[in-house]
Amino acid sequence: MADDGMMINFDLGSGPIAVANVNFKGGSWKDRLTAKKSAQYNRQKAAKLLAPKPITNSQDTHEPSDRPVKRARTNDEASSTATNGYDRPRAQGGYQANNAQHARKKPTQVVSSLFTFNPEATTAVDKKDKAQEDEAPAEPSNAPLKSELDTFTSLGLSETLAEHLFKRLEIKAPTAIQRAAVKQLLEENADAFIQAETGSGKTLAYLLPIVQRLMSLSSTNKDTNTTSNAIHRDSGLFAIVLAPTRELSKQISVVLDSLLRCAHWIIAGTVIGGEKKKSEKARLRKGLNILIATPGRLADHLDNTEVLDVSNVRWLVLDEGDRLMDLGFENDIEKILDKLDARAGRRTAIPGLPDKRTTVLCSATLKSNVQKLGEISLKDAMHIQADMSEVNDSTGADGAQKEQAFAAPAQLQQSYAVVPAKLRLVTLVAILKRAFVRKGSVMKAIVFISCADSVDFHFEVLSRTDGKQVEELAVVVEEVVLDREEEEVEAEGKEKKRKPVAPAVTTQASSAILSSKGNTVKVFRLHGSLPQAVRTSTLAAYRNCKDAAVLVCTDVAARGLDLPNVDYVIEYDPPFNKEDHLHRIGRTARAGRDGRSLIFLLPGAEESYLDILKEGRREGTRGILRADANEWLKKAFGSMGIGAGRDWEERATEWQLDVERWALESPTYLEHARRAYQSHIRAYATHVAPERHIFDMQSLHLGHLAKAFALRDKPGSIRVPGLRPNANAADDNKKERKANAGKASKAKSLHEGDVKGTVDLRDAARKVRNKIKEMNAASEFNLG
């Protein structure tokens, strides 16, 4: 056919060439549907690849292509905006990842968005509390009395004991609770309930009358200056003091030993869990007059140690009664009381000592469980308080005791900070850096954390240097442990050389992050999962440390411990109930000294916890002040001078990135971070029922919270064993896997403790709460 000079021009346009739909025939309907969807997916993918791409800058190359184009960012925003999926609002894609785009070009730098998409505080600053910020602190409520008439001799103590308190122990005057308790316990042989605020000297209030009554049995010959002692090691056991924790038992023993230096013929000792029963039996065999013990170990010795004779016991002291009941020691205490009553018939009459046993119950609160303990142990007891006029106000119209809440010391300056989850870690470091910026400004601080795994992680973060942990000081077993082993060897008539004990775990380190020029800061850690010898030596080292020091611990150190020179208490994780809060902050502002406390709260529901904090504040004292977290960050990370701008955000972000890189470089530290993250979430679910609406699991932003543990993983990708491993847990997991052999995938998920969304976390929280109810005791998070 000849060319007629005509040409048809078909404009295909710039779009992709249309592909005809293919009809799929044959096979099952499932196969046809699968093939149809696969072809549709391939057509859509080809259309996206052939579509023209908008020109973007280098900062947006890693953003998903199916999202709307973002507005142009300023330099300040660009330096602090995240590329992590969980830092974007859920409306823009939530946790979705753009795998296709990342496959083409991976970002060369990870940017941490600490200061974007953070929720704001919902409550305004209380103007009344703000006005009190510059006011002078109130008069101390737990200080020794200043009146010249209030002396230890006026309470009925001998001149020898009073002079020993003044010269050797440097205790010049009694406190209000000591004035009320010592005199009554010396004059009357009746049961007593001692109620006083923390740090007011309850330990001496019940120890001084016991020591004085035993010392009064000794007579002194003035002509020959000799003393004839009616009480000695072989006289028998006359007093037992029960304490809820091993640390408190050790502390009571130290105070008692210091008192008995003026009465060396009176012998005291301890039996607590975690130590060798063989050495304890050797001490009991040699003879004791005063015994400090934990309920579980004492009940064990009463059943299995024949040499322990309690027929002559005249005093039984139950210290921290509310904590004894919280830890589930009710059955052990009932068993101890039954044994004491059963063996009282063999009691030897000693002139000068009470004919019957006197029981003293000490507690800062008068809760329902304390009243139950009083019904079990006390008979016709007298109520002793610092201000005896308050006793009349504590009874209701029917004469029954009302439940009372105790208050924090009046001179304690309390504050709170509303800190977003992403900023928690960097804010904690900023606060500690500012606290120790000058030598002598803060001598010692305590940071309370909810669980043991989290304590270990934060200890490693605070003690690291250039990504490596500093281990300058190794833990050694306290000298008293070795001395008691020597006593055991001596009692058995054998010779044995002392061998040094190797450190089990590092609990002390110097902090390069917190230390400043001329002020070295040491970091200590303490929780209940450490061996008892390590716990004892750690407390002793922290107590005797001459440098500035920080103790990172669980609630194992929240009750009764008297740690000198503690100026600052930080509640990094809120307590599990309001009583624990008052005991925590009671580690400072003791015996009339000043002190400060700070609690971290998340924006939102946790801000309503302020109403509970105000319940423990005395009327007429300073309010609970609100601290600004950004001010700490500016002072800790910002440069001084005019024109500094917002460089503190960049420096804080760089520090956060450095910690994240440190965790990623070491599988060990990454495992610790993941374990701490999961344990923290599990512990968060164990708050008491009246406060559970404040600490709501569903309100937690798991992605933001992960950054507080230096994690870049998505919450669903964090897979570590859920609880701290031990022999019992291993046996339980083994039984669970065997019982669920037919459901292997589900059993494996439960065993590995996967955190896959809020639903799984709620199930895990419910299991933890059910386990606590079965144990009828405090959870492992309270014990550390």
Residues 567, 462: one domain?
yes
CA terminus-to-terminus distance, the chain: 96
Residues 98, 242: one domain?
no
Classify strands 268-271 and 290-293 as parallel, antiparallel or unpaired: parallel
Q: Give CA–CA dist 202/317, Å, rounded.
A: 11
pLDDT at 728 over 50: no
Q: Reduced to 3 states, what is the DSSP secondary structure of residue 79?
A: coil
pLDDT at 590 over 90: no
Model confidence pLDDT, tens digit, residues 261-317 = 999 999 999 999 888 899 999 999 999 999 999 999 999 999 999 999 999 999 999
Per-residue model confidence (pLDDT) at position 769: 60
Per-residue model confidence (pLDDT) at position 738: 53
Q: Domain for residue 345, yes or no?
A: yes
Residues 89, 196: one domain?
no
With cut-offs at 50, 70 and 90, classify the pLDDT of residue 532. confident
Q: Reduced to 3 states, what is the DSSP secondary structure of residue 236?
A: coil
Per-residue model confidence (pLDDT) at position 406: 60
Q: Domain for residue 175, yes or no?
A: no
Q: What angle do CA 527, 528, 532 make, to 5 degrees?
A: 105
Q: What angle do CA 515, 517, 522 make, to 5 degrees?
A: 25
Residues 489, 527: one domain?
yes
Residues 344, 480: one domain?
no
Q: Give CA–CA dist 650/653, Å, rounded.
A: 5
Per-residue model confidence (pLDDT) at position 29: 78
pLDDT at 172 over 80: yes
Q: Domain for residue 47, yes or no?
A: yes
Q: Give CA–CA dist 584/445, Å, rounded.
A: 12
CATH code for position 573: 3.40.50.300
Q: Domain for residue 515, yes or no?
A: yes
Residues 486, 417: one domain?
yes
Per-residue model confidence (pLDDT) at position 770: 67
Q: What radius of gyration do the chain's Cα atoms show?
A: 33
* Mean pLDDT across the chain: 76
| SS3 sequence of 20-41 | CCCCCCCCCHHHHHHHHHHHHH
Per-residue model confidence (pLDDT) at position 271: 95
Q: Domain for residue 161, yes or no?
A: no
Residues 252, 384: one domain?
yes
Residues 598, 699: one domain?
no
Per-residue model confidence (pLDDT) at position 342: 92
Model confidence pLDDT, tens digit, residues 468-478 = 433 333 333 33
461's enclosing H/E stretch is helix 452-462
Q: Domain for residue 671, yes or no?
A: yes
Q: Domain for residue 505, yes or no?
A: yes
Per-residue model confidence (pLDDT) at position 456: 96
Of the three residues 576, 611, 637, the one that is the final residue of a domain is 637
Q: Domain for residue 153, yes or no?
A: no
Per-residue model confidence (pLDDT) at position 489: 41
Q: Which residues contact 644 (CB under 8 A, 6 or more apart)?
A: 638
Of the three residues 637, 669, 697, the one that is the final residue of a domain is 637
Residues 414, 294: one domain?
no
| More confident: 530 or 223 | 530
Residues 44, 61: one domain?
no
Residues 672, 556: one domain?
no
Closest to 246 measured CA to CA, from 582, 523, 530: 530
241's enclosing H/E stretch is strand 239-242
Of the three residues 34, 52, 70, the one that is the final residue of a domain is 52
Model confidence pLDDT, tens digit, residues 12-57 = 455 555 555 667 677 787 788 888 888 888 888 777 776 665 554 4
pLDDT at 542 over 60: yes
Per-residue model confidence (pLDDT) at position 12: 47
Per-residue model confidence (pLDDT) at position 400: 42
Residues 651, 628: one domain?
no
Q: How many domains does the chain have?
A: 5
Q: Give CA–CA dist 77/87, Å, rounded.
A: 14
Model confidence pLDDT, tens digit, residues 479-520 = 433 444 444 444 444 434 444 333 447 888 988 899 888 889
Tell me which residue range forms the domain holding 465: 410-637
Q: Reduced to 3 states, what is the DSSP secondary structure of residue 479?
A: helix
With cut-offs at 50, 70 and 90, classify the pLDDT of residue 364. confident
**Burial environment of residue 23 by CB neighbours within 10 A (0 to 12, 13 to 18, 19 or more):** exposed
